[in-house]
Chains A and B, each alone.
Chain A
């Protein structure tokens, strides 16, 4: 069996983001990067599948970006992936989800991956498109937003998370692509011997130009900080009045008040 995991390296969401000089992305200087949280679940599920199948499958982990993505790849290798592919692209932030999916599909096209794992979305863009689009481009079966994964006899039994805590169970024959939701499993903390071993595993470098043939389908016009959510509002006084003002603010500033 051949397994592919696609991971993205994203900035630490705790960072203070600044808009860059051209006003169309965030300034990447001074940001610390880490593996996209959703992708950690994807890596863990891939490794669990490998273990379930007696360590026979080979797991390839792929990431697109500048050399710094090597750190995220190394973590995935330490968690148990077998080899890493870095699609070298210093300008990956400007690729839209359509292009990213096309790069992955172009890489995976002739490699006969039986199961492909991706995160359900990235923490920075959050478009939730790439995984499903890759499946479409490859003609693989696809289930998204997994909170449960089982594999037996060429069929993935996926538990998809729907709204309100309801789950939908669906059987997906391989070749399959699944996108992983938070809580699917407990991503492991790599052991030190595995961190050491990861340093010796293969890292393949592939120039992006050899894989990308598509133009972007969407483009960022302008990037800016949101209008302040209301920070520093202090409400005091008559209880009924305070309650009304609070509910008014919540209606205006949040999406949860119907």
Chain B
């Protein structure tokens, strides 16, 4: 079985998702080749053939050209699978490649179960195994589902790739950096929220630090916002924001229904509370019975050490 991995770079930096594709291909037991629109210096440090198209010539975002580059590599390599990260790059490019090759696409593979591709549906409430009908298929792989544990010390065998199509109808204008000043709970993957249980304004800093250690955003329940300990943009709940991060850590939040309604769609919920019976326990995947002001610094330190 052969897999062509479509790596991703942005502004001169190879994205880590490229290595996750390698990890996924290893799970498949596939022989690996890679394709990248970038520079040789960014090449993933793994063994295998790398088809490299010059980003200066073809552009960083010009999906029609990237499509033809991937298709050219497919024609040379004849892979069974063409694999993309399920990212803004991958989900934009993969269907274009699949349609051009007239092959099926399986999106956001989360696991391989008995040799079958497993995907999630309905907010993770269900899973299904999907099979492509033809001999070849395009796949996209969920970010973070497959971790690359190997060394990043290999050297790929680079082969330059050129295509005849030269121009793109789309005109890439540029990037806009993430807005830093405002919290954006709606987009956050991790939210660590402070509730009334943190006691006083000064203690919110402890929770904010834990949020930082997780690489997440600080959220809050309504009383914390009402008391003026944090701004309204942090408020999760019926009259604040409805959020659905991959991880929600509720610190000292008892779990009034107004709060639960705002965060119950989170993929995974951890509650840290002194009261084991607090209503938040009904929603939590993990209930940690502890004083959050004592646990948070310990947890933050371990996260930073990891």
Give the B-binding residues of A (Cβ under 8 A).
11, 13, 17, 19, 24, 26, 96-98, 101, 121, 123-129, 132-133, 136-137, 141-145, 157, 159-173, 182-183, 215-226, 229-236, 239-240, 242-244, 246-247, 249-250, 253-256, 258
A231 touches B285 (CB 8 A): yes
Least CB separation from A172: chain B residue: B170
B124 touches A226 (CB 8 A): yes
Kindly state the separation between the CA atoms of A158 and B246 in the bound complex, as whole angstroms: 27
Is B299 interfacial (CB-CB < 8 Å)?
yes
Q: Which are the 4 A-B pairs with shortest beta-carbon distances?
A: A165-B178, A217-B104, A255-B144, A136-B99
Q: Which residues of A contact B169 (CB under 8 A)?
A: 141, 172-173
Is B174 interfacial (CB-CB < 8 Å)?
yes
A225 touches B126 (CB 8 A): yes
A221 touches B132 (CB 8 A): no
B120 touches A166 (CB 8 A): no
Is B100 interfacial (CB-CB < 8 Å)?
yes
Least CB separation from A136: chain B residue: B99
Kindly state the separation between the CA atoms of A7 and B10 in the bound complex, as whole angstroms: 32
B171 touches A170 (CB 8 A): yes
Kindly state the separation between the CA atoms of A235 and B270 in the bound complex, as whole angstroms: 10
- Given A11-B122, A98-B105, A243-B299, A236 and B289 contact (CB-CB distance below 8 Å): yes
Kindly state the separation between the CA atoms of A125 and B134 in the bound complex, as whole angstroms: 21
Least CB separation from A222: chain B residue: B129
29 A-B residue pairings within 8 Å (CB atoms): A17-B122, A24-B128, A124-B122, A126-B107, A127-B108, A128-B95, A129-B94, A144-B88, A144-B91, A162-B10, A164-B178, A165-B178, A165-B184, A167-B176, A168-B175, A169-B172, A171-B171, A217-B103, A217-B104, A220-B128, A223-B121, A225-B125, A226-B120, A233-B287, A234-B286, A234-B287, A234-B288, A242-B288, A247-B306
B246 touches A255 (CB 8 A): yes
A163 touches B286 (CB 8 A): no
Q: What is the predominant secondary structure among interface residues of chain B facing chain A? A: mixed
Interface segment, B41-49, B73-81, B186-194, B195-203? B186-194
- Given A166-B175, A246-B299, A256-B247, A123 and B123 contact (CB-CB distance below 8 Å): yes
Kindly state the separation between the CA atoms of A26 and B147 in the bound complex, as whole angstroms: 30
Q: Which residues of A contact B281 (CB under 8 A)?
A: 234
B287 touches A127 (CB 8 A): no
A58 CB to nearest B CB, Å: 25
Q: Digitize B96-113: 1 where CB-to-A-CB distance is under 8 Å, 0 elsewhere.
A: 101110011111100000
Give the A-binding residues of B (Cβ under 8 A).
10, 15, 61, 63, 86-89, 91-92, 94-96, 98-100, 103-108, 116, 120-134, 137, 140, 142-145, 147, 169-179, 184, 186-187, 189-190, 246-247, 265, 267-268, 270, 276, 281, 285-290, 294-295, 298-299, 302-303, 306
Q: Which residues of B contact A141 (CB under 8 A)?
A: 169-170
Q: Which residues of B contact A215 (CB under 8 A)?
A: 133
Q: Which one of A123, A144, A183, A250 contacts B270 once the chains associate, using CB atoms below 8 Å?
A: A250
Least CB separation from A26: chain B residue: B126
Q: Which one of A127, A159, A231, A242 contacts B295 once the chains associate, using CB atoms below 8 Å?
A: A242
Kindly state the separation between the CA atoms of A59 and B184 in the bound complex, as whole angstroms: 32
B174 touches A126 (CB 8 A): no
Kindly state the separation between the CA atoms of A215 and B106 in the bound complex, as whole angstroms: 15
A234 touches B289 (CB 8 A): yes
B129 touches A220 (CB 8 A): yes
- Given A165-B184, A226-B127, A250-B268, A137 and B247 contact (CB-CB distance below 8 Å): no
